[in-house]
Amino acid sequence: MKEALLVLADGTTFEGEAIGADAPDGISAGEVVFNTVLTGYQEVITDPSYAGQIVTFTYPHIGNYGVTDLDCESRRPFCRGVIVRDLARRRSNWRSDADLEAFMQAHGLAGIAGVDTRRLTRHIRDAGAMAGAFGIADERALKAAATAEPGTSGVDLVATVTTDQPYTVGDGPLRVVAYDFGIKRTILRHLGTLATVEVVPASTPAAEVLARDPQGVFLSNGPGDPEQVPYAVDAINGLLGEVPIFGICLGHQLLSLAIGAQTEKLAFGHHGGNHPVRRLSTGAVEITSQNHNFAVVADTLAGKAEMTHVNLNDGVCEGFRVLDAPAFSVQHHPEAGPGPHDASYLFGMFVELMHAS
């Protein structure tokens, strides 16, 4: 057991023990966020949307049911580190084929355990998401690393996670092109049952996509600030009206920018599996999986799109439909992975939209 420290950019420190891989110089740095899911740590850790971030799990016992390849949301973890209260010493579940710690070591992911994660969460809640650094290095080195960490604003994190080559998945009857801004495998599994999906790099221009003659285009989730991905916004502009579009999370934010709306950064974002979202057309409430720090400014949609979903906790825009083109998007994650399945009907709506066009 190696003692370790977590130091936030504002100087707040937390004691713990090093877990997972050894970080270079004993330091891992990134933007510290928290996630409140009770299950689904592996999906969270391997979700490319966490690129640049250190994930704090608010649930104290992490690793209980081990890991399995089946639950990986991408080829490897893209987050910068993991903060837990207690890492399971022994896993127990028939599905698992390795321990979480072994998985972290295999993927070079460092973590810190034993942390008062509730104190940390309350701190982030009150002070906002902030950079931090953890590891076995001394406090001063960690503080310096935390201060030097740029965070997720103003950097193009999509470029670090997207695929370099197009590839095809699924064997559904429709033809869909999916932009990979950091796409999760669960999304591909959903799309793959509906369509033959050609996954393309984030930088793929509209013309190239249209040349593939898709029946629909999917805009994936992904990390960071939508304003840092202008090439994607341009491409979406070229697709709007040409082909039905469905976006999730970052894809939703990028679609909003393409129609001239604006996005903003939330204080500490939505990261969890329990947010209530109202579907405005029916009034029904769905419990959703969420993972974003940026959000669409609802007022800026006026005249361009109709809001279709709203977060009941804080009123954040959770979904909209473009007025003059067959395009819609949601901020939350209907694919779940991890999280509830309440919003999975949205994939069906995408199919309907493709059939209608």
Strands (E), 40-173: 53-57, 61-62, 81-83, 86-87, 110-113, 130-135, 167-169
Rounded to whole angstroms, the Cα distance separating 116 from 14 reads 7
Three-state secondary structure call for residue 155: coil
Rounded to whole angstroms, the Cα distance separating 344 from 346 reads 5
The answer to whether 319 touches 333, Cβ cutoff 8 Å, is: no
| Chain mean position to CA 20 | 22
Size of the site for other proteins (CB under 8 A): 56
Interface with other proteins by CB under 8 A: which range of 120-128, 233-241, 293-301, 346-354? 120-128
132 is a contact residue toward other proteins (CB under 8 A): no
Among 14, 134, 246, 347, binds other proteins (CB under 8 A): 14
> Which residue lies nearer to other proteins by CB, 168 or 313?
313
Q: How far is the CB of 276 from other proteins (least distance, A)?
A: 5
Interface with other proteins by CB under 8 A: which range of 66-74, 147-155, 292-300, 324-332? 66-74
In the residue annotation, 317 being an active-site residue is answered as: no
**Cis peptide preceding 166, ω within 30 of 0:** no
62 is a contact residue toward other proteins (CB under 8 A): no
Among 339, 343, 351, 353, binds other proteins (CB under 8 A): 339
The answer to whether 110 touches 141, Cβ cutoff 8 Å, is: no
99 is a contact residue toward other proteins (CB under 8 A): no
122 is a contact residue toward other proteins (CB under 8 A): yes
Amino acid at 71: D
Of 43, 249, 275, 292, the catalytic one is: 249
Among 24, 75, 93, 211, binds other proteins (CB under 8 A): 93
Among 46, 49, 53, 58, binds other proteins (CB under 8 A): 58
The answer to whether 327 touches 350, Cβ cutoff 8 Å, is: no
Among 89, 164, 165, 213, binds other proteins (CB under 8 A): 89
> Which residue lies nearer to other proteins by CB, 58 or 162?
58
Rounded to whole angstroms, the Cα distance separating 45 from 274 reads 18
In the residue annotation, 333 being an active-site residue is answered as: yes
> Which residue lies nearer to other proteins by CB, 220 or 288?
288
Amino acid at 205: P
315 is a contact residue toward other proteins (CB under 8 A): no
In the residue annotation, 249 being an active-site residue is answered as: yes
Three-state secondary structure call for residue 195: strand
Task: Report the DSSP pairing between strands 305-311 and 317-322.
Answer: antiparallel
> Which residue lies nearer to other proteins by CB, 86 or 242?
86
Which of 230, 268, 232, 269 is CA-nearest to residue 247?
232
Among 74, 121, 253, 293, binds other proteins (CB under 8 A): 121
> Which residue lies nearer to other proteins by CB, 95 or 355?
95
Amino acid at 171: D
Going residue by residue from 26 to 45, which x/- string records binding to other proteins, judged by CB under 8 A?
A: --------x-xxxxx-xx--
Among 207, 285, 302, 323, binds other proteins (CB under 8 A): 285
Interface with other proteins by CB under 8 A: which range of 18-26, 60-68, 101-109, 165-173? 60-68
DSSP H helical ranges for 49-116: 100-106
Torsion of CA 116, 121, 123, 129, to 10 degrees: 130
Axis-axis angle for helices 250-258, 230-239 (nearest 10): 70
Question: Which residues are known catalytic residues?
Answer: 249, 333, 335
Give contact residues for other proteins (rule: CB under 8 A): 3, 14-15, 34, 36-40, 42-43, 58-61, 64-65, 68, 70-71, 85-86, 88-96, 116-119, 121-122, 125, 272-276, 278, 283-285, 287, 312-313, 336-341
